[in-house]
Amino acid sequence: MSAQEGRKGLDEAIRRIEEARKSNSKSLDLSELELSNVPTSVWELSQIEELNLGANRIAAIPDALGQLSNLRELVLLNNRIAAIPNALLRHGSAGTGQTVSRNGAIQGPLGVAIAPGGDILAANALNGNLVEVTPNGRQVAVKTLDRSGSPAGAGALFGLAVTPRGNGVYFVDDATNTLDLLH
């Protein structure tokens, strides 16, 4: 990617952010802009409920994410997913963080949640699988949640939340336009 192409992506992101500010939009799509960082003006959009940062080159999400108090969905598909040490207490940058897990059963992770035992649950966008990963990065379980589409499960899963009692996982299945429960 050239510097000029990178600048075009940033310019487009700034245009979309300004449009969201003016319209008081609850969603903001900054996907596929070749962004390596999230523009700081995003953090001023406190009304945002859905933020799509997919298919960029983002390796770290700043602590400023906490300023988006209404955020319900954060899409990071096709970006590197990393652990940020002391994320809630950090006052400065963590750099790019550290990769927890990659490859193997991880195929386009689009949603993540923390299970009651501390393992990480990742919803794959590329094959409809839910993957359980230990905090040290070992992939320990795979469960197919969606088989629709071609290839099976492609693009269907995003958004995960553990039930309040910790005995199930809510997931969004975009292929069937449903909110489902796995228990």
Of the two residues 173 and 131, the one the predictor is more confident about is 131
Assessment of whether the complete model's pTM goes beyond 0.85:
no
Summarised one tens digit per residue, pLDDT across range 63-100 is: 777 788 888 788 777 666 566 666 667 676 656 667 77
Q: Which class would CATH give 1-99?
A: alpha beta
Q: What are the sequence ranges of the domains in the chain?
A: 1-99, 101-183
Summarised one tens digit per residue, pLDDT across range 42-72 is: 999 999 988 998 888 776 677 777 788 888 7
In whole angstroms, what is the distance from residue 75 CA to residue 41 CA?
A: 18
Q: Which class would CATH give 101-183?
A: mainly beta
pLDDT score, position 117 = 86
Name every residue whose Cβ is closer than 8 Å to that of residue 74 and which is 6 or more positions away in sequence. Answer: 51, 53, 61, 65
